[in-house]
Structure formats: C-alpha cells, structure tokens
Structure 1
Amino acid sequence: MPVEQHEDPFEGRLGDALRQAGGTFEADGATLVAGGEARGRRLLRRRRAAVAGGVAGVALAGVGGALLVPWGGSGGEESVAADPTPRSSADATKSSTPVSGDDLLRTLKGLLPEGKFSGEDSRGTESESGPYARLVYDDGKGGGAIGISMDRIEPGSRQAREVTTCPAEELVPHDACSTSRLPDGSLLKLFQGYEYPDRRVDTKWWSAELVTPEGHHVSVSEWNAEAEKDAPITRPNPPLSTEQLKKVVTAEAWRTAVDAIPEDPKVPGSAASGPTASAPAAPPSADGAAIEKTLIGLLPKDVKVVSKGGQEAEYRFVVVDDGKGASFVQINVQPGMDEVFGSGLEILPDGTRVATRQGPGDDKGGKGTVMWTVDTVRPGSLRVVVSAFNTGAQSADATRDTPALTMAELKRIALSEKWEQLVPKG
C-alpha cells in the first residue's frame, strides 16, 4: 500500500537489509500492523521515499524516440556500458562524470510531449541522497506531478525481484499491474493504482520500475494531481499512458546517470572500498513458501483458505473463510528481533515474551475494520507476529464483526515450535 503519514514496526525493520531500521513509525495501537502491509507499501514506494519532500513527489514519465543526452558524450545518442561489479579506479573515474540535477530535468522535459512545466525540482548524481528530477506537467488537460529517480541494485537479488513483482490485490488494491522481461534482459513492472488504498481520495498513482542485468534501477511515477498528496484531482488519469512510461523508464540516459553515481566507500565490494573488502553475510531468514505451508498447517480445521500470498522471506498472508465471510490473516517470522508491540506483556517460563492487541484496524484500512494481533519474541530473538482482520483485505471495509481466528488460536499459531525449524542456523 502507499506510504502515508507513518509506518508500523515492520516498516522500520524490513528495509533493504530486512532488519535494519528504516524510516519512522509510531508505536500507538493504530500502527501496530503486521509486516506484510508495510512491506508491500515499502516495495511499492521505495523510490518515492528517496525523493520525498517536494510538491510533486517522485516520478516521471514521457514519450518519444531516441534520447539526446546532454551530458558526458558527444552530443548524439549516448551508449551505455554499465557494470555494477567492482571496477578499477581508472574505470570508475572514466565512467562517472557527474550528472547535474539541471541535466536530469532537461532530459525529462525533452522526453515529455509538448506542454507547460512548473514545480521543478531535482538533485544530481553527486548527492549522497541520490539523483532525481520532478515537475508538474500540463498537456492542456490538467497538471500532473511526474518525476524520476534512480540508483543501483544488485541484479538477481531479492530486492530486485521484489521491486519488479506485482503486489497482491489483498495488500495493495490496484487496477492493473504487469511484469515483463525485455529483450536486453531487463525486468519491467508497470503499475496502475491509487495513492490511498482505501480510496478516501481518488488520487491515482501510476508507476514503472526497471531493473537491468547490469544493476541499473530506474523508477518513474505520475499522478492525476499536481502533488502526490493533499492536492485537488486535476484530470481523470495521470498524463502518460503505460506505454509512454515504458519509453521513458527504458531510456539509455538514465542508465548513464546511474553509472555516474559515485561508488560508496562504506559499502563493501564497491569500487571505492578496495579490492580486499568483502560483504558481510546476510542474516538468516525464514523462507516465505515454508512460512505459508506452516501457517496453513496450523490454521483451525473449520476455516478454508481462499487466497494466499506474500514475499520471498519472512512474510506471508492467507485469506480464510469459516462460512461467515473472508478474514485476512498475516504472519511475520523474523530472526534477530528484540521487541514486541502491544499490551499485557506476558513472559512465559522459557523466557518468550508475548504481547497482544485487539483494536481498530490500521488507519489505512476500510470502515469498521478490527485487527487482532499476537506478537512474540523467543529468547533466541526470533519474532513471530500473527494478525487477523474482520475483512478479506486490509484496505477493504469490514465484512464481519470479528476475525475468523480467536486470540487463543492466534496465540497457539505464534507460539508453535515449528517456526524455529524454518530459520537457518548461522
């Protein structure tokens, strides 16, 4: 779901390192949502978070043919030879001519159809916070916020797959989403959804995510309003079609800009960190498919699973029906955690801490929703959190009075010894 005013506890812990703190969250009851929703929001809006703070938010779009790159070349169509693997200092210097924010803006405007521009903002490749360009574009049918951001990503990594994977409808309501592999091996995701999952404001958000085999990550977004949030809707749809978004996000110029982003000397394995640096081993995590199978096996016998989904590691959800309506159930299995969130803290004889919560659904949910949660942390720092809702999707209105699972059933699932068997030792 789209990122809104605050995050929940999982949002800060399921970042690029999956357990490193990222962003802020409030610890009040309304934000203690299990990690699937937060993870879905993060994956969808990762790039917008990097460029948040301006009137137009993150985004871009455009149309046109060959792009004439206004930097680092002879003035013709730029060829790109990107390589995310460590390079010699000479190679890194040769291929990393800085690209200014003004250059990015000029390129962006050159890709867009004829129209008027306002609200321009940008940041170049030398910025530690990463490059982007954004503006408000009006083709005569109403202004729309558009923009682009870019960074490096490890090809074939979990992050790369998640960025280009369409979200489950139960987590992120949307009108359309597709993922395809381009002839050059790049993965492209085209998404048409909404700024607010509960549609309390009908602001549309369309985006394109590109990850190349060389590790370029380019993100494009657009809205049918002149700002990402808190602005009147100016047109039925964002100004650019998905085909136009595709043409912009795949332009060679953005790959050139990614190549110009300086290597981070603090990141092991980068060119600037030296040839002897080695990346630290990633912490072990539970396999998503195994979590799903285990969760289904622990469900009460009187419920039927009607849909399921989640991510590659740590998080899964199922929608169950006990004959009284659909109920969304989600679980996170997270090693290396120390905190539980909720009330009525209970410490079991083996040292496991248990907290519970029964209250309204999160503030991004539908009308009348409630969420029941059992949050546990074992002495070995394995956190298992299970939540159930009285609706089949978190952003949908309530369809029943209470969730299909009782608090006792949720507690039994969360405390099962089977979860410890899913986390690799290391």
Structure 2
Amino acid sequence: MPVEQRHNDSDNSSERAFETRLSAALHDAGDTFDTDRGALVAAGTVRGRRLRLRRRTAVLGGAAGVALAGVGGALLVPWSGSSAGQPRPPSSVSTTPHPTSSPAARAVTSDEMISTLEKLLPKGTFGKAEGRGVDASEPLVAPYAQVVFDDGHGPGAISVAVDRVLPGGSDARQAVLCPDKTFVPYDSCVTRHLPDASVVTVVKRYEYPDRRVDTKLWTANLVTPDGHHVSVSEWNAAAEKGAPISRDEPPLSGDQLKELAAAQEWRGVVDAIPEDPRQTQEPPRAQGNGRAIRQTLTSLVPKGLKVVAHGSDDDDQFTYVVVDDGKGRSLVQINVQPDMSDVAGQLFGAGSETLADGTMVAERKQPGEKDGAGVVMWTVDTMRTDGFRVVISAFNSGSQQSAATRKAPALTMKQLRAIALSAKWRP
C-alpha cells in the first residue's frame, strides 16, 4: 500500500522547492515567449543554468516542453510581458546522467513515444499527436509525446516527457516537492511513495495561476531511485492555451496520472538517453543561500512592517517575504548573485545611474502581471564593480497571482534602494 502524504495551505514552508513555479511561468508566458537575451538576463539568470534552460524549453516547446521544464529550473523565462527584469529564483534544470545507463541502448523514435503514450491511455480516440524520440546528437533535449485524447466526454491534451536526474540529487528531490502557493496556487498536491521506492507527486492546479481562464492543469512527476524522471501533464481542453474548455476536468484522475507516470515503458526510454560524460556528479551549489539571504532581508525590512510569510530555497540565491503594515499584504522578493559583470550592459542601460563607488543602479515601476488586476511591481537593480548583483522587487499584493491588496507596495523605492545597497550583503 503506497504511503500517502497530503499537503494543504499550511504546508508552504521555506523547504518547499521553487522549481515547480517555472511551470506556471512558462504556461503564463507561453503565448509571448521569445528569445530576447536582455529579458532573459534581466530575469535574474545564472549563466550556465540559464543557457541549458533556454535551450531545452526553446527546442521542446508546447505542452511537453512546459511539462518537463516545470519540474526543475528557475523562473527565468524570456518573455516580452511586464515581468521582464523581475527577480526570480534561479536553480538548475539538468540532464544529469543515469550512472547505470548503457551506451549501447537502443534508439527510440518519435512514433514510438506517441504510440507508447496512446497504448497506456484508457479507451478513447486520439488526435494532434506529436513527439520526439531519443536523439544522440541532442542529449540535452528530452524525449516527449503529446496527444489530444477523448474518452467520450470531451477532448483533453495529455503530454509526457522523460529525463534523467542524479539519484538522490537536488533535482530528484525538488521534482517531487509541492510548489509554494505564493507563486503557484493549486487545489491539491499529493505525494506518494511507491513500493519500488519511487516517489510521485500529483498537483491539481490551473493553466493560468490568476484564473483569468479556468483551464485546469494537472501534473504528475515521478522520480525513481535510479534517477528516471517522468513528467505528465493534462488539461481539460484540447490545448494548454488558446482552446476552449471542453470538459469539467482533465481526462485522467489523479490515480490514473500516477499510474501513467509510473509505467515501466518510460524507464526504458530514459535508459536510452545518451550519457553526458561531463556531468557525472551533483553540480556545485549556488554561492547564495536562500535562508541566509532571507535572514538578511528580514533584518533590513523597515520598522512598522511585519513579516507575515516567507520562503526560500536553501541551495538558491533567491528569497521572498510577505510584509504587512496594517494596510494590506505586500510581496517582496530578492535575488543576490555574484559574478554577473558579463551582462551588466544588458541590465543597466539608459536611465540607470552609476554611484561614486562604481555601483550601477536601475529603478523601474511597471505592472506586476500581464493582464492587470491592479498589481504593480517596483524594482531596484544594483551591481557592484565586481559583478555582485542585488535586485529586489516589491508588489502591492501578497502574491503575484492575486489581485492588488493596496494602491502601492508597502516599501517605497527609497527603501528598496536602501535594502539593495546595504553593506550587509557583503560580509
């Protein structure tokens, strides 16, 4: 009998991984996705991880690209909406090799990926199938398949993508953690431990976190002890975006999603992915530390503001707090990143200033989301002469996915500037 762990609103502790927030950002930004490097860098990216994430999401595209990217990585997606330049939590999306994979593993075609997905689904009809097999020339591009499935109650898109993670590594752990509701609202999140020691997490949420369209998005992410990673997504519409809602709920129940992710067929596909000999161990942790950054940020919050919520990733350079001065909640988030000199020209252009000590400062006031709801985002971006970057943003809402709770953020631009330029960031 699987051991089942349920999560509710009270489970949003600092230990919740931020990676799943990428899925929401990718879905929310998908219709305006571009490859503008300036926007990518302004989103607070770390160079090596930035390039890998960009390559994979750009090549995969569509439902499968979103499904895979949603289990690991930073909210660093380049899009032309109002979130460009916003500090986001950086972390890795890796294809860490499976140490037991055979270099002579057979090839897997795109047709095989599609037929396997169709075979594993209940009785029904299929349409708009597409996929990608194992390509030895593109080891960083994961195999995927997606179809429109109709069980007689309306069509729904279903996608699956497979990858390899380092057994016991941070990607493996974070792939099956529930998202932080400050960034990714959801109806339920259930984590199950299977008899073979695999772990699978099923999340029921919405395509658009702000619910501007009520398309439902349900996902299942499974990680095995050997590092097989399977990500499944489904919608109650024929496409993740741009299609009318065609049924009340996605075609598969939570248990069926779990079973689809746990199917043995996908593990054979993972074993067929060529190993990358350059990546045989856990990558080093980012130089930042989420808890330490949060402690510093909390110490710099002006008097009169009460910290009512917080979150961070211990391996990351990002943290956030939600403050309240009695006039409504306000989200404040920050990235602290070393060695960013190579992108200074893209972050600090016209309108920025250079202080006497050489520190560059850029200030921005902009909408906090694409579709209004009255949310605004105030940002102060700073970089010292050695490339040490501190970028902080405050919102007039306790969450980027909820409506405005006040006219302006709880912190003024002057206060944000003081926090970003504080000497406490450099011990």
Normalised by the shorter chain, which TM-score bucket?
0.7 to 0.9
Among candidates 355, 370, 373, match of residue 363 of structure 1: 370
- Contact residue 286 and residue 317 of structure 2 kept, 8 A: no
CA 1:178–1:27 in 2, change beyond 3 Å: closer, same or farther?
Answer: same
Please state if 1:420 is matched with 2:422: no
**In the TM superposition, what is the alpha-carbon distance from 1:155 to its structure 2 partner?**
2.4
**In the TM superposition, what is the alpha-carbon distance from 1:283 to its structure 2 partner?**
7.0
Aligned to 2:73: none
Please state if 1:190 is matched with 2:202: yes
**In the TM superposition, what is the alpha-carbon distance from 1:27 to its structure 2 partner?**
6.8
TM-score w.r.t. length of structure 2: 0.78
Find the residue that maps to 1:144 and give its secondary structure: strand
Please state if 1:348 is matched with 2:371: no
Aligned to 1:144: 156
Counterpart Cα distance in 2 of 1:377 and 1:15:
14
User: What amino acid maps onto 2:245 in structure 1?
Assistant: I
Please state if 1:2 is matched with 2:25: yes
Aligned to 2:85: 32
CA 1:262–1:109 in 2, change beyond 3 Å: closer, same or farther?
Answer: same
Find the residue that maps to 2:146 and give its secondary structure: strand
Residues paired across the two proteins, number: 365
Counterpart Cα distance in 2 of 1:142 and 1:101:
26
- Contact residue 351 and residue 379 of structure 1 kept, 8 A: yes
Among candidates 90, 113, 138, match of residue 104 of structure 1: 113
Find the residue that maps to 2:219 and give its secondary structure: strand
Counterpart Cα distance in 1 of 2:99 and 2:121:
33
Counterpart Cα distance in 1 of 2:45 and 2:224:
23
Aligned to 2:144: 132
For 1:222-237, list aligned pairs within 5 A. 222-237=234-249
Counterpart Cα distance in 1 of 2:232 and 2:178:
15
Counterpart Cα distance in 2 of 1:228 and 1:367:
22
- Structure 2 residue ranges without an equivalent (≥5): 1-23, 55-76
RMSD: 2.7
User: What amino acid maps onto 1:370 in structure 2?
Assistant: V
| Structure of higher CA gyration radius | 1
Aligned to 2:403: 397
**In the TM superposition, what is the alpha-carbon distance from 1:204 to its structure 2 partner?**
0.9
User: What amino acid maps onto 2:261 in structure 1?
Assistant: V
For 1:316-335, list aligned pairs within 5 A. 316-335=319-338
CA 1:280–1:203 in 2, change beyond 3 Å: closer, same or farther?
Answer: closer
CA 1:314–1:111 in 2, change beyond 3 Å: closer, same or farther?
Answer: same
For 1:51-62, list aligned pairs within 5 A. none
Counterpart Cα distance in 2 of 1:186 and 1:342:
48
Task: Map Cα deviations across residues 265-320 of structure 1 (whole Å, 9 max, x no partner).
Answer: xx4146xxxxxxxx797474211111111111110121111111132311111111
CA 1:26–1:263 in 2, change beyond 3 Å: closer, same or farther?
Answer: same
CA 1:240–1:125 in 2, change beyond 3 Å: closer, same or farther?
Answer: same
TM-score w.r.t. length of structure 1: 0.79
Identity of aligned residues (%): 46
**In the TM superposition, what is the alpha-carbon distance from 1:201 to its structure 2 partner?**
1.2
- Contact residue 325 and residue 399 of structure 1 kept, 8 A: yes
User: What amino acid maps onto 2:187 in structure 1?
Assistant: D
Counterpart Cα distance in 2 of 1:281 and 1:169:
27
- Contact residue 312 and residue 318 of structure 2 kept, 8 A: yes
Aligned to 2:176: 164
**In the TM superposition, what is the alpha-carbon distance from 1:106 to its structure 2 partner?**
2.1
Please state if 1:92 is matched with 2:96: no
Find the residue that maps to 1:404 and give its secondary structure: coil
Find the residue that maps to 1:253 and give its secondary structure: helix
Aligned to 1:302: 304
* Of 392-401 and 159-168, the range deviating more from structure 2: 159-168
Counterpart Cα distance in 2 of 1:289 and 1:332:
12
CA 1:85–1:233 in 2, change beyond 3 Å: closer, same or farther?
Answer: same
**In the TM superposition, what is the alpha-carbon distance from 1:381 to its structure 2 partner?**
1.4
Task: Map Cα deviations across residues 200-235 of structure 1 (whole Å, 9 max, x no partner).
Answer: 111111111112221111110000000111011100
Counterpart Cα distance in 1 of 2:256 and 2:246:
20
